[in-house]
Amino acid sequence: MTLSPIPLPPERAWPIDAELMPRSESSLRSLICHVARLMHQFRFVAGAAGSISARLSESRVLITPAGVAKSLLQPDQLMIISIDGSHPNPDGERGLRADDELAMHVACYAARPDIAGVVHAHPPMAVALTLAGISLRTCIVPEAVVMLGLIPTTPFAPPDSPEAANAIRLLIAQHDALLMAGHGSLTVGADVWNAYLRLETLEHTAFIVHSARQLGPIAPLPPDQVAVLLETRRALHLWREGDAERFCEACGVC
C-alpha cells in the first residue's frame, strides 16, 4: 500500500518563499511530517532511520522521536526539547523518546543561530561514495558549487558519540551540508524545508558524480567557470566563512 503525504493546512502549501514559512507550531509539525514522508518516498531513509528538527524559539526545538518510521510519522508524535538537548517533558506514557542522534541536532543549533532546520538522512548514493573513498569536496557539478559549496566528509564515528557531535560542530559552522563516512548526511537551513531541499541536491550531486565516473575520467570545472558560479553563490547569500580559502585550495579560484 502506498502512503500519501499528510495533508497540509488548506491555507498553505509547500514549497513556498522562506518569508512565508509556517510560524505556528501546528503548521511546523505538519511540515516536518511532510518532509519525513518525502524522505521515505525518495529513499533517503529506510524504516525508522534519519531525523528531522526545527527551531521553535531561541530555547526550544521540535524533533522527531526515536523508533518511529518516517513514512508513518504523525504531528503529535514530534517532541519538544530544550536547545541544550534536555527534554523537560518526558513522554514515556506514549512510549516515545527523543531521537538517538539528538546530539548532532543540538550541535548544529549551538554552532549557528541562523539555522532553524536540520535534516539527517541516509542517502544511498552519497553514503556509497564515502564507502568508496570518493569525496564531494570538489568543483564538478555547477548546482552543487552554488547551493552547497564544498561538501566535507567527517571521519567515521558512532552516530551518537561525542566524537561525531564534535566533528559536526566544527564543520557545520562553515557548511550547509556534510557527509558522515559510512553513515549518512546532515543538511541545515534557515528553515526545515530548505534543509530538506539541500538533501535532495546532495543526493542528486552524488548520483551525477557516480554516473560520470562510470563513463570515464571526470574533469573538474575550470577555475574561471567556478569563479562565475561563486559570484552567484555570493549573490544568493550562500557564501560561508572560509569559502574563499576552501575554493582556492580545492578548485584553484584564488
Q: Please indicate whether residue 162 or residue 80 has the higher confidence score (pLDDT).
A: 80
Are the C-beta atoms of 113 and 106 separated by less than 8 Å? no
Using a pLDDT cut of 70, give the percent of the chain over it: 87
User: Exposed (0-12), middle (13-18) or buried (19+): which is 115, by Cβ within 10 Å?
Assistant: buried
Helix (H, G, I), strand (E, B) or coil at 118: strand
- Do 142 and 239 meet the contact criterion of CB atoms below 8 Å apart? no
Structure confidence by residue, pLDDT tens digits, 96-135: 787 778 889 999 999 999 999 999 999 999 999 999 999 9
The DSSP line for 139-164 is S--HHHHHHT-S--EEPP--TTSHHH
The strand pair at 177-180 and 153-154 is best described as parallel
Distance of CA 127 to the CA centre of its chain: 13
More confident residue, 103 or 45: 45
Across the chain, mean pLDDT equals: 87
CB 146 within 8 A of CB 238: yes
Is the entire prediction scored with pTM above 0.85?
Answer: yes
